[in-house]
């Protein structure tokens, strides 16, 4: 079942009949969802947004407050006449989501509350290229354990986890199909971590979902680049996964068909021109460990000519490949996300120019290209939000039985 879709509350059970209890559960989701999406609001406003009666909203609110999903802020600031209602917002304690990330050069974990705010996080450098999955997951679990302990100290209780991986995944099977930059192929991962159910997703997809869930555009090619280059396609407000769930492999689109051999085995893939190694080599920097993105940004800000030229070339390569993607899938926006977002100042001009020059059969406004405000936090945040979305989609599933 796709990670961005509501799931049945009781897996493998027969679909619930359209009972009164089923309707109540749906209404709980309506009320909590409205409050989460549209900020602090009174019961009257929630009734207006959801179309439910005030009495029904009040009844749902009692239940949601009792179980700690909603809290009351005091009188809502309202310009309107009449008795001000108490403003409701999602709780900043109670059920929470754990986000996890295995990068090529790092591991990360964070806990997000019902409002979507990151409340605890940790990130460590880690040389994961070619490292076996077992020790990587063990180190990640240790990191996550500390982050979860910190979150518990704040009154948060993670109820699910999702893991961002830089590669193709089979989420239903809990398996990494191919992550070339990690060297993982057909790698089964554990289905739980720290006692929480663990979901698996491609990091570019999670970065795109984080943007989308925070109000981003509905038809997007979302580029996510750090060590590798991936993309997520968002179509009509949903992830587009392709026939087998492998859509978005922008890094392996041929850029110069006779170019150098890529790690994937093909020639002249985009990654050979805009990936980590290509950019560092063009910039005259050895493949140093550490935060090479921050290093490049520092050197570019200092006006280092080779670095500026390297980023210009990478931007043009990205723009050329994206022009092909735009001609093929016709998005309304292209977003540069992942760690490369932090290099946006230097990558964007070249990307912009190539897109303008190569998307000619239809209009392509310059404003259609932008940088994600989430940057490298996108995939990790998206992973944590998976659980938050599940709660918002069906709060009845986490409420204690009557």
Residues that bind a second copy (CB under 8 A): 168, 177-178, 180, 218-219, 231, 233, 235, 240-250, 252-257, 262, 264-267, 269, 320-321, 323-325, 327-332, 354, 357-362
Which pair of structure tokens corresponds to residue 155? 């009154």
CB of 380 to a second copy, least distance (A): 23
CB of 219 to a second copy, least distance (A): 4
Tokens 């880690």: give the residue: 126
CB of 228 to a second copy, least distance (A): 10
SS3 call for 9: coil
Q: How far apart are CA 65 and CA 71, in angstroms?
A: 6
- Contact by Cβ (8 Å): 155, 94: yes
CB of 302 to a second copy, least distance (A): 30
Closest CB to a second copy among 219 and 393? 219
Q: Phi/psi zone of residue 243: left (φ > 0), alpha (ψ -120 to 50 degrees), beta?
A: alpha
Closest CB to a second copy among 199 and 249? 249
- Contact by Cβ (8 Å): 161, 102: no
Please state, as a whole number, how many other Cβ atoms lie within 10 Å of the Cβ of residue 20.
Answer: 8
Closest CB to a second copy among 15 and 236? 236
CB of 326 to a second copy, least distance (A): 9
Q: Give the H or E element holding residue 178.
A: strand 175-179
Nearest to 168 by CA among 144, 201, 196, 123: 201
Q: How far apart are CA 366 and CA 48, in angstroms?
A: 38
CB of 187 to a second copy, least distance (A): 14
SS3 call for 230: strand
Q: Number of C-alpha atoms within 13 angstroms, CB side, residue 237?
A: 4
Q: Give the H or E element holding residue 89.
A: strand 86-90
Q: Which residues contact 266 (CB under 8 A, 6 or more apart)?
A: 252, 254
Closest CB to a second copy among 240 and 346? 240
Closest CB to a second copy among 133 and 262? 262
CB of 110 to a second copy, least distance (A): 28
CB of 234 to a second copy, least distance (A): 10
| Torsion of Cα atoms, 131 then 137 then 139 then 143, to 10° | 140
Tokens 């057909």: give the residue: 186
Closest CB to a second copy among 161 and 233? 233
CA 331 to chain centre: 19
Identify any residues that bridge with 88 across adjacent strands, giving them in sequence order: 41, 72
CB of 244 to a second copy, least distance (A): 6
Closest CB to a second copy among 103 and 160? 103
Closest CB to a second copy among 131 and 238? 238
Closest CB to a second copy among 89 and 267? 267
Q: How far apart are CA 226 and CA 164, in angstroms?
A: 13
Please state, as a whole number, how many other Cβ atoms lie within 10 Å of the Cβ of residue 70.
Answer: 24
CB of 343 to a second copy, least distance (A): 21
Closest CB to a second copy among 188 and 218? 218
Q: Are strands 106-112 and 118-125 parallel, antiparallel or unpaired?
A: antiparallel
């Amino acid at each position: 079942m796709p990670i961005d879709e509501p799931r049945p509350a009781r897996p493998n059970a027969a679909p619930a009949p359209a009972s009164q209890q089923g309707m109540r559960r749906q209404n709980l989701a309506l009320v909590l969802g409205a409050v989460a999406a549209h900020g602090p609001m009174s019961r009257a406003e929630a009734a207006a947004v959801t179309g439910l009666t005030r009495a029904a909203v009040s009844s749902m609110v009692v239940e949601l407050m009792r179980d700690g999903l909603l809290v009351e802020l005091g009188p809502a600031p309202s310009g309107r006449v009449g008795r001000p209602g108490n403003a409701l917002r999602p709780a900043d304690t109670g059920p929470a989501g754990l986000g996890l990330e295995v990068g090529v050069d790092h591991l990360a974990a964070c806990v997000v509350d019902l409002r979507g705010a990151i409340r605890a996080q940790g990130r460590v450098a880690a040389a994961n290229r070619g490292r076996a999955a077992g020790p990587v997951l063990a180190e990640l679990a240790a990191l996550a354990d500390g982050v979860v302990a910190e979150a518990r100290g704040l009154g948060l209780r993670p109820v699910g986890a999702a893991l961002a991986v830089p590669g193709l995944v089979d989420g239903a099977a809990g398996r990494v199909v191919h992550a070339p930059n990690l060297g993982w192929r057909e790698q089964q991962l554990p289905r739980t971590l720290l006692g929480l159910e663990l979901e698996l997703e491609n990091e570019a997809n999670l970065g795109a979902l984080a943007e989308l869930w925070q109000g981003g555009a509905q038809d997007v090619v979302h580029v996510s680049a750090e060590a590798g280059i991936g993309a997520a396609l968002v179509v009509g407000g949903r992830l587009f996964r392709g026939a087998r769930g492998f859509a978005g492999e922008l890094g392996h689109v041929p850029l110069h068909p006779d170019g150098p051999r890529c790690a994937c085995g093909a020639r002249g893939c985009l990654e050979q021109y805009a990936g980590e190694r290509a950019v560092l080599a063009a910039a005259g920097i050895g493949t140093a460990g550490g935060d090479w993105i921050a290093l490049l940004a520092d050197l570019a800000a200092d006006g280092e000519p080779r670095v500026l030229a390297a980023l210009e070339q990478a931007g043009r390569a990205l723009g050329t490949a994206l022009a092909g993607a735009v001609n093929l899938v016709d998005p309304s926006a292209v977003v540069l996300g992942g760690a490369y977002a932090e290099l946006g100042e230097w990558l964007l001009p070249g990307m912009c120019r190539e897109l303008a020059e190569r998307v000619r059969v239809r209009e392509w406004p310059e404003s259609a290209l932008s940088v994600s405000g989430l940057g490298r936090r996108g995939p990790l945040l998206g992973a944590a939000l998976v659980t938050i979305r599940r709660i918002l989609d069906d709060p009845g599933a986490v409420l204690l039985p009557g």
